[in-house]
Structure 1
């Protein structure tokens, strides 16, 4: 059977893409699946997408990290930092450069572009929905994302594939490898949602682990808007006794960190033994001063985030940080889709997580 797999990694995902390509080549005994691409810019800031090899009749996978703010380009003689909007435009340019010649087109976008603007509460845009419709118009067959801020966005494209993958397996592996004294039962471990939007993630993990859940409700000031959102007045906790319990706070992203710190503070005040944070995307968009101070004050013990988005170099040096490597999982997703095999075991890996937990309880 002819191997029709091809990969394009935009500059924002180039390093990770090369590693994923190497993993796939090793698994499948191939030399290379990577198709070179570039998005050179004119002095005005305009750009174009270029691919350097034919992708005709290929099963093509395009990877992009819209959160990578480390890349700069020159415009009018000055250096500009690339925003999510810039990365998304480059993605469309590369898709357009393919000129409809690929047999099948899959976009791997770990952080779903504009996923925080997923619903309309007043006269405002629906950016994530518009993006998904544009992907459909451009001929994208499948979008692979991770831990979407609101999984209901899949309803925008009822006839197209959106694979919303949970990284719960990798968090479990990292957590139980790093800590050998976790007691997995309802009296010693609890998963906690920092807000009502994170409840589904927490329910999934708690169900697999066989423990209880807790949830914080964010009370907001809806009469004001600060930095694009309604400011949080307080976090109200709904859940059982936390005294002596190891608490795991689960969310899809850490932006400024202020909200998650307030949640950790309340958990510690309620007598929790240790506090761990699972967050798929560590954006840390306001620096690390707040988190450094919170760690020094003992408000949390460890932060786990994935390498699905750009990791700031200073983050990797933090004593309290643990990086979850997702490269092999992304490679497995590409391999599975290319072979037209079922995705359920990768999207929601309940069985594998339970196997790891049983092995951990058995002392292995």
Structure 2
């Protein structure tokens, strides 16, 4: 829908077809260094759809921008994730579809008039590693305590795929009390020696967490290290940091622009 840009960066927009009384879906990736510019472009597209009498507008946002700012940790700061929700509704968005929220409470920032749904890429990522990488005695790793829920979802998907493999059933029994292995301040809780370790997180931004965790896992005796993340933001030097690390494979479902 972007028709042209002025020399000063202002965007001209024109919808290429008639959208009157139609259900419309706007797919936008609001990640990376240009997040604020892309957010303005999204608002202009939604405005154009609303003014062109679209029946319903759904924003498909694989990455929910500002999702890491969902709480007020100190004084005189905004709760940016809630403000984004308010802005989307004020734009005229009728619904939002996204993937693996950084904070589950974000769903509560939307009013009942705006339908909201968050899907997960964990089953697809587990299926890819299961079929393409010939995992040996896999163990799932959460790089921080807040990532246990996501790691558990990946673990359940992988356990279902490996249900007939004796080695993984043993791993399942060991993990019943603790659903995922956790790294806290580079101290490993659990045993990974001789196993394929899979680090599961929702975002790879700087790449430093993946690099540090992979080093700690290999020092603890892990055979190989894989990394799975829903959102590959890959800011600044992140790709170089990951490339020189000992991670065997990095799997992401969504790349920033």
Is the shorter-chain TM-score for this pair beyond 0.5, marking a shared fold?
yes
CA deviation after TM superposition for structure 1 residue 68, in Å: 5.8
Distance 1:241 1:206, change over 3 A: same
CA contact (8 A) 2:122 2:154 kept: yes
Q: What is the alpha-carbon distance in structure 1 between the residues aligned to residue 104 and residue 140 of structure 2?
A: 20
Q: Distance between the aligned counterparts of 1:63 and 1:214, measured in 2?
A: 35
- Deviation, 1:310, is 4.0
- How far does residue 115 in structure 1 lie from its aligned partner after superposition? 1.3
Q: Residue 105 of structure 1: which of 57, 63, 67 is its match?
A: 57
* Cα drift, residue 156 of structure 1: 0.4
Kept in 1, the 8 Å contact 2:130–2:158? The answer is no
Partner of residue 216, structure 1: 183
C-alpha displacement at 1:106, in angstroms?
0.6
State the 1:161 CA deviation: 1.8
Q: CA offsets per residue over residues 132-183 of structure 1, 9 Å max, x none?
A: 1111122212111111111210010141322111011221222122123x24
TM norm structure 2: 0.84
- Counterpart position of 2:90: 137
Q: Which of the numbers 19, 38, 50 marks the counterpart of 1:87?
A: 38
SS at match of 1:108: strand
CA distance in structure 2 between the aligned counterparts of 1:67 and 1:208, rounded to whole angstroms? 27
| Structure 1 unaligned residues grouped into runs of 5+ | 1-36, 70-82, 218-233, 312-364
Contact 1:39 1:90 in 2 (8 A): no
1:320 aligned partner: none
Structure 2: any 5+ residue segments left out of the alignment? 160-171
Pick from 49, 56, 61: which aligns with 2:20?
56
8 Å Cα contact 2:29/2:256 also seen in 1: yes
Question: Residue 240 of structure 2 aligns with which residue?
Answer: 289
SS of 1:277's equivalent? strand
SS of the equivalent of 1:250 reads strand
Identify which of 126, 129, 151 aligns with 1:202. 151
Contact 1:151 1:164 (C-alpha < 8 Å) held by counterparts: no
CA distance in 2, matches of 1:289, 1:45: 30
Q: 2:255 aligns with which of 309, 328, 333?
A: 309
The answer to whether the 8 A contact 2:66-2:81 is kept is: yes
Deviation at 1:200, TM superposition (A): 0.9
SS of the equivalent of 1:56 reads: coil
Q: Is the Cα contact below 8 Å between 2:226 and 2:247 reproduced in 1?
A: yes
Contact 1:191–1:250 at 8 Å: present in 2 too?
yes
Aligned length: 235
Structure-1-length-normalised TM-score? 0.61
Is the partner of 1:145 in helix, strand or coil? strand
Q: Give the deviation of 1:67 after TM superposition.
A: 2.5
Matched residues in 2 for 1:129 and 1:282: separation? 22
* Aligned-pair Cα RMSD in Å: 1.9
Aligned ranges for residues 328-347 of structure 1 at < 5 Å? none
SS in 2 for 1:148: coil
Matches within 5 A, 1:142-153: 142-153=95-106
Distance apart, 1:39 and its partner CA? 5.2
Higher relative contact order (CA 8 A, sep 6+): 2
The residue that corresponds to 1:229 in the other structure is none
Cα distance change of structure 1 residues 40 and 126 upon mapping to structure 2, 3 Å threshold = farther
SS at match of 2:4: coil
Q: For the residues of structure 2 that align with 1:208 and 1:55, how far apart are their CA atoms?
A: 39
2:109 counterpart of 1:156: yes
Contact 2:123 2:157 (C-alpha < 8 Å) held by counterparts: no
